[in-house]
């Protein structure tokens, strides 16, 4: 067993601080990765503050981080997909049972035995898994992704969660030419949703509570921007959307968006606010509309997304920070002041 420097939270109200965590010795199937960049997802904040306790209680100390890119420093004897020196990524999943129907359908995220990158049951060391706010990680090669060589690494890290979480539902709901698509919330997930929906050829409309983001929304690929607090601006889009992707991290009125869907339209929630959102059945009845959820994506689809990004030159817009600024970044994320993903330069942990 090795030790690694990390940033952890000791409790739900405790700021993240320097810590030392165990990392397992490399087994036959493992890849050891020196972490170069790790994105900051709003899920990290929800978990650190135990906001999802009704679904999964946070175990402390908690080391978040599931948007990992790094360089392979060691491989186990049976590893065939990766070599020492390769640039690789790790997202939200580090293990699954490989045998259930979901795994056989390449949807490991829905495996009953799926192990998340942090706050999941660690089958090797006991306790819970520790994420990417750390200098290194050891992961089964089946959950290690290839990173396209032509992309900026800091901008690649957020693809491992924000990227796949938006790519997957946009593909599933066949977003493309001739479709009018809404993206609600222009944060980490939302800005990737805009880039993908545009790249897939749809007409893209951003809904934001931050009108000052309008110019950025257009630059990122939106055709139109709507201030979601302006009832008249919202009403102009009534019954007109094929698909809406809702990325909002906090309490908000989903019925306002269901009203904008056209016949058989779908609203997919990827945002995971702490409290349940009331859905009006009447909003759904008139137009046979549906509301769905979507959870990250499987490993094969995550690789497909990374390859798509390589071909189309797509990365996240990142504000790179040293790890010492992580607590401040959380506060800014809560104020919707993120343009459009914080990404930790893990070199800052070396001398911490
Ligand atoms: P983020 O960067 O903080 O973005 C969230 C955006 O939502 C904000 O930038 C803001 O956009 C909008 N927003 C925030 N508070 C709001 C409010 N009270 N009312 C209306 N809009 C509000 O967060 P993120 O990392 O993109 O994550 C978004 C959510 O997705 C989180 O709940 C996260 O846990 C969840 N998530 C789910 C999955 C999955 O697999 N389903 C994966 C990753 C993350 P504007 O300023 O434009 O209004
Ligand atoms: Zn995430």
* Pairing relationship of beta strands 93-95 and 261-269 according to DSSP bridges: unpaired
- Residues that place a CB less than 5 A from ion ligand 2: 41, 43, 161
What does the pLDDT look like over 36-72, one tens digit per residue? Answer: 999 999 999 999 999 999 999 999 999 999 999 999 9
- The torsion of the CA quartet 14, 9, 58, 166, rounded to 10 degrees, works out to 110
Could you tell me if 88 and 310 are in contact, meaning their C-beta atoms sit under 8 angstroms apart? no
Ligand 1 pocket test, pick from 165, 187, 292 with the greatest ligand atom count within 8 Å of Cβ, gives 187
Walk across the sheet containing 203-208 and list its strands: 224-227, 203-208, 180-184, 241-246, 261-269, 290-293
Residue 32 has pLDDT above 90, yes or no: yes
Identify whether 61 is preceded by a cis peptide bond (ω within 30 of 0).
yes
Residue 352 has pLDDT above 90, yes or no: no
306 CA → ligand 1 middle, Å: 22
Confidence band, pLDDT 50/70/90 cuts, at residue 256: very high
Ligand 1 pocket test, pick from 119, 185, 250 with the greatest ligand atom count within 8 Å of Cβ, gives 185
20 CA → ligand 1 middle, Å: 30
Identify whether 312 is preceded by a cis peptide bond (ω within 30 of 0).
no
Q: How far apart are CA 343 and CA 158, in angstroms?
A: 8
* Pairing relationship of beta strands 87-90 and 145-146 according to DSSP bridges: antiparallel
Q: Which ligand is nearest to the CA of 165?
A: 1
Give percent of the chain with pLDDT exceeding 90.
99
DSSP state of 77: T
As a whole number of angstroms, the longest Cα–Cα distance in the chain is: 63
Q: Which ligand is nearest to the CA of 131?
A: 2
Q: Angle, to 10 degrees, between the axis of helix 188-199 and the axis of helix 162-172?
A: 40
80 CA → ligand 1 middle, Å: 37
Please report, in angstroms and rounded to a whole number, the separation of the first and last CA atoms in the chain. 22
Could you tell me if 160 and 88 are in contact, meaning their C-beta atoms sit under 8 angstroms apart? no
For residue 209 and ligand 1, the question of a CB distance below 6 A is answered with yes
Closest CA to 95 of 29, 50, 32: 29
**Burial class of residue 240 (count of CB atoms within 10 Å of its CB; 0-12, 13-18, 19+):** middle
42 CA → ligand 2 middle, Å: 6
For residue 46 and ligand 1, the question of a CB distance below 6 A is answered with yes
What does the pLDDT look like over 168-197, one tens digit per residue? Answer: 999 999 999 999 999 999 999 999 999 999
171 CA → ligand 1 middle, Å: 20
**Per-residue confidence (pLDDT) for residue 197, from 0 to 100:** 99
What does the pLDDT look like over 266-296, one tens digit per residue? Answer: 999 999 999 999 999 999 999 999 999 999 9
Element (H, E) at 45: helix 42-48
266 CA → ligand 2 middle, Å: 23
For residue 179 and ligand 1, the question of a CB distance below 6 A is answered with no
**Per-residue confidence (pLDDT) for residue 244, from 0 to 100:** 99
What does the pLDDT look like over 80-115, one tens digit per residue? Answer: 999 999 999 999 999 999 999 999 999 999 999 999
Q: Which residues contact 2 (CB under 8 A, 6 or more apart)?
A: 22, 23, 24, 25, 136
Within the chain, strands assigned E span 2-8, 17-23, 30-39, 68-75, 87-90, 93-95, 115-116, 136-140, 145-146, 180-184, 203-208, 224-227, 241-246, 261-269, 290-293, 318-322, 341-345
DSSP state of 279: -
What does the pLDDT look like over 124-170, one tens digit per residue? Answer: 999 999 999 999 999 999 999 999 999 999 999 999 999 999 999 99
DSSP state of 109: G
For residue 180 and ligand 1, the question of a CB distance below 6 A is answered with no
For residue 158 and ligand 1, the question of a CB distance below 6 A is answered with no
What does the pLDDT look like over 305-346, one tens digit per residue? Answer: 999 999 999 999 999 999 999 999 999 999 999 999 999 999
**Per-residue confidence (pLDDT) for residue 351, from 0 to 100:** 83
> What is the average pLDDT value for the chain, to the nearest integer?
98
CA 298 to chain centre: 13
Mean per-residue pLDDT for 188-216?
Answer: 98
Mean per-residue pLDDT for 225-234?
Answer: 98
């Amino acid at each position: 067993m090795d030790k690694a420097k990390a940033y952890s939270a000791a409790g739900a109200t405790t700021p993240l601080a320097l810590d030392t965590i165990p990392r397992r010795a490399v087994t036959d199937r493992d890849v050891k990765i020196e972490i170069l960049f790790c994105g900051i997802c709003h899920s990290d904040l929800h978990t650190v503050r135990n906001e999802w306790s009704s679904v999964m209680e946070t175990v402390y100390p908690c080391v978040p981080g599931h948007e990992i890119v790094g360089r392979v420093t060691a491989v186990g004897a049976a590893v065939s997909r990766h070599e020492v020196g390769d640039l690789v990524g790790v997202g939200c999943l580090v293990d699954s049972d490989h045998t259930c129907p979901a795994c056989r359908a390449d949807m490991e995220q829905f495996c009953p035995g799926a192990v998340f990158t942090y706050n999941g049951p660690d089958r090797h060391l006991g306790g819970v898994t520790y994420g990417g706010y750390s200098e290194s990680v050891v992961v089964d090669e089946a959950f290690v992704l290839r990173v396209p060589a032509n992309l900026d690494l800091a901008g690649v890290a957020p693809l491992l969660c924000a990227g796949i979480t938006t790519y997957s539902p946009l593909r599933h709901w066949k977003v493309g030419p001739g479709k009018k698509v809404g993206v609600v919330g222009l944060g980490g997930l939302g800005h990737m949703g805009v880039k993908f929906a545009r790249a897939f050829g749809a007409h893209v409309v951003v809904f934001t509570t931050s009108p000052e983001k309008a110019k950025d929304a257009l630059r990122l690929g939106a055709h139109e921007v709507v201030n979601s607090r302006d009832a008249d601006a919202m009403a102009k889009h009534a019954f007109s959307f094929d698909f809406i992707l809702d990325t909002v991290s906090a309490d908000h009125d989903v019925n306002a968006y269901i009203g904008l869907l056209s016949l058989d339209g779908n609203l997919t929630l990827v945002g995971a606010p702490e409290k349940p959102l009331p859905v009006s059945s009447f909003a759904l009845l008139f137009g046979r509309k549906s509301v769905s959820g979507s959870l990250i994506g499987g490993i094969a689809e995550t690789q497909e997304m990374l390859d798509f990004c390589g071909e189309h030159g797509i990365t996240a817009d990142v504000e790179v920070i040293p790890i010492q600024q992580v607590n401040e970044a959380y506060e800014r994320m809560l104020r919707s002041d993120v343009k459009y993903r914080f990404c930790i330069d893990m070199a800052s942990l070396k001398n911490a």
